[in-house]
Structure 1
Amino acid sequence: MRAIYATDLSAASDAAIENETCLDCLERIGVEEIHLLTVVPSNVHPGMPGMDLEQRRERGLEAYRSVMEAAGFDVETHVVRGTPHRRINGVAETVRADMTIVGSRGQSPLANRVIGSTARNLARTTVVPLLVNRVEREADEPEVLREHLFQRVLYATDFSENAERAFGAFNYLRHATEAATLVHVRSPKDDLDVDPYAALDDLAGTLAQWDIDTETVVRDGDPAAEILDVEASVTPTTTLVGSRGRSRLRRLMLGSVSEEIVAGATGNVYLVPPPRTAGYKLL
């Protein structure tokens, strides 16, 4: 597998990239090649006084390269200019990545808006599965919050086609997964012709074949709020969810639940988008 690792070279990025347990989890699910990527804001120009930002970021990426190569990964580095989520998606398309990884925290309301906006924009537009790796907030030397990335997974499903696609990620995540909680939230707008209890039991049976301890939960109410409430109660290391919609309008509308989960989850989030199609254009 080939992964994009997007970084802003902050202390939070140091914590995520230098965490040996996180890197081991990526290796266990089959990641072999990592493309380290940092985006220079388009409003920063080389001619501006003291703005040798690209050179400094190249040096920073080389330090990260050493860490990841020592962990056994093949590594390439990319310093690009532009809007973060657009450039991250663009590089992911170019190198045919299998997943994108981005860290997320926020020390202040302003920092949370700036750093969190990239994760939220990626949640809406990502072209490959997206791992949002949570790092401590309000810490000078932050640590990742749940370093065993896929050890305990909370899988949220509405039984849609893309939720099924997200469940398919267990084909590789299972190599690092010991336990899973499967949750479905019923809402007044549901038009399901399936029994959610039976459907979740069927999925649990699949995971049991891989020796993954599984429990199922059915809730009623607002999907995002209930999923986040289950996350708070079972403390998974990662929440796995699919996004729906292929057109710009549908992604904005139907992606709202996954965006809320990315924005509000305490732990890591693994978001699986619809499959890439020929002629796909980034937003």
Structure 2
Amino acid sequence: MVGVEAKSDAVRAVVRHAARQAELHGSPLHLLHVLDGPGGASDENSGGTPEKTQGAAVVEPLAAWVHSEFPNVVVTAQTAAGRVAEQLLARSAEAATLVLGHRGTGGFARLPLGSVSWQVATHAECPVVIVRPGEAAENPKARVVVGVDINDVSAEAVDAAFAEAALRGARLEVVHANFHLSEMPVGAGMVAPDFKALDEAALRILDAEAAQRAGRYPGVDVHTRVERVRPSTILTEASRGASLLVVGSHGRTGLRRLMLGSVSAEALHTAACPVMVVPTLDDH
């Protein structure tokens, strides 16, 4: 499913990425345009209202364009009335993937707190791909990158990254940033930890995660990498020239997620490619 908004320069790039995603997975594509308001009726029940006409003017040309550019993808389109985030979240339980622009459902330079994309990426029941303006990958076979927190590995995110790399015929880069301020020595006589040993231990964890999936994805060329930098730094650097960056949502508590993990959230601001945020089973 892809959320689309009216009069957005970025909307076609967002829809194009969603269509490519659907084509890779052999799935139908559903275009959803939400008329922001207190109501909740879909266009199927709104008769010939001006709202329905307005919504059709948004989704029908896009659906026709997808049908022309991606003839193998089955396309449906719908207009719904209601709060945008609520409508998208309600439908996320039935979607394999939800694709949105960087802000709202189109795209702007930055993603402020409280935006539709932020709310949906935080609370959706399915993986959410955020397409930054002008940064939809033109080469779907480019690298796929997944960021891994070795202290709280999101198996769902790693699984999703392997699946996306396999479908694209792309190399998979599994990365971890092994830098913590608490590791730095402070004061006279303090001794720095064995950074090399820490890096090697982290790399063994990444290699073990890759080995667990080698049988399911034998054709995926996997590269693991550990750098002693901030996590957001390695994700931003690795995302350059990639077709997709995959991160986990975290929030492994008994409560509904209130926010994305700080690293995943920063990746939405700084990544140079579309970002897939994958919820964990413990999040719901």
Q: What is the TM-score of this pair, normalised by structure 1?
A: 0.73
Structure 1: distance between partners of 2:92 and 2:277: 15
Alpha-carbon separation, structure 1, partners of 2:114 and 2:167: 29
Structure 1 pair 22–152 and aligned structure 2 pair: CA distance change class (3 A): farther
Contact 1:239 1:267 (C-alpha < 8 Å) held by counterparts: yes
Match for 1:269: what amino acid?
V
Q: Work out whether 1:219 is the aligned partner of 2:211.
A: no
Q: TM-score, normalised by structure 2?
A: 0.73
Name the counterpart of 2:4. Answer: 7
Contact 2:38 2:81 in 1 (8 A): no
Seq. identity, %: 23
Q: Secondary structure at the match of 2:257?
A: helix
**What does residue 139 of structure 1 align with?**
none
Of stretches 246-255 and 213-222 in structure 1, the one that deviates more from structure 2 is: 246-255
Aligned to 2:120, what secondary structure does the other structure show?
Answer: helix
Residue correspondence of structure 1 range 119-268 to structure 2 within 5 A: 119-136=117-134, 144-149=135-140, 151-159=142-150, 163-170=154-161, 172-173=163-164, 174-188=166-180, 195-205=201-211, 206=213, 210-232=218-240, 235-245=241-251, 251-252=257-258, 255-268=261-274
Match of 1:27 among 19, 23, 27: 23
**Hey, what does 1:66 align to over in structure 2?**
64
Deviation at 1:215, TM superposition (A): 2.2
1:99 aligns with 2:94: no
Q: Which stretch of structure 1 is more off in the superposition, 253-262 or 179-188?
A: 253-262
Write the deviation string for residues 40-98 of structure 1: whole angstroms up to 9, x where unpaired: 22279xxxxxx9454222222112222334422233322223332222111222xx111
Q: Which 10-residue stretch deviates more, 80-89 or 5-14?
A: 80-89
For structure 1, which runs of at least 5 residues remain unmatched after alignment?
A: 45-50, 137-143
How far apart are 1:210 and its partner, in Å?
2.9
Aligned length: 251
User: Any conservation in 2 of the 1:150–1:237 contact (CA below 8 Å)?
Assistant: yes
- CA distance in structure 2 between the aligned counterparts of 1:172 and 1:231, rounded to whole angstroms: 18
User: Partners in 2 of 1:125 and 1:54 — Cα distance?
Assistant: 28
Moved more, 200-209 or 124-133: 200-209
- Given that 2:122 and 2:258 are in contact with CA atoms closer than 8 Å, whether structure 1 keeps it comes out as yes
Q: Distance in 2 between matches of 1:120 and 1:103?
A: 10
**Residue 44 (structure 2) aligns with:** none
Structure with bigger gyration radius: 2
**Given the superposition, is the C-alpha separation of residues 54 and 219 from structure 1 closer, same or farther in structure 2, using an over 3 Å criterion?**
farther
Counterparts of 2:116 and 2:276, CA distance in 1: 15
* Contact 1:36 1:77 (C-alpha < 8 Å) held by counterparts: yes
CA displacement 1:228-257 (0-9 Å, x = unmatched): 23334xx31211111111569673355222
Q: 1:215 & 1:171 partners in 2: Cα distance?
A: 12
Q: Unpaired segments of 5 or more residues in structure 2? A: 40-48, 184-197
Instruction: Tell me what 1:47 maps to.
Output: none
Distance 1:161 1:74 in 2: 38
Q: Using the alignment, how far apart are the partners of 1:110 and 1:34 within structure 2?
A: 23
Contact 2:110 / 2:269 at 8 angstroms: preserved in 1?
no
Q: For the residues of structure 1 that align with 2:108 and 2:161, how far apart are their CA atoms?
A: 36
Q: Distance in 2 between the 1:13 and 1:115 partners?
A: 21
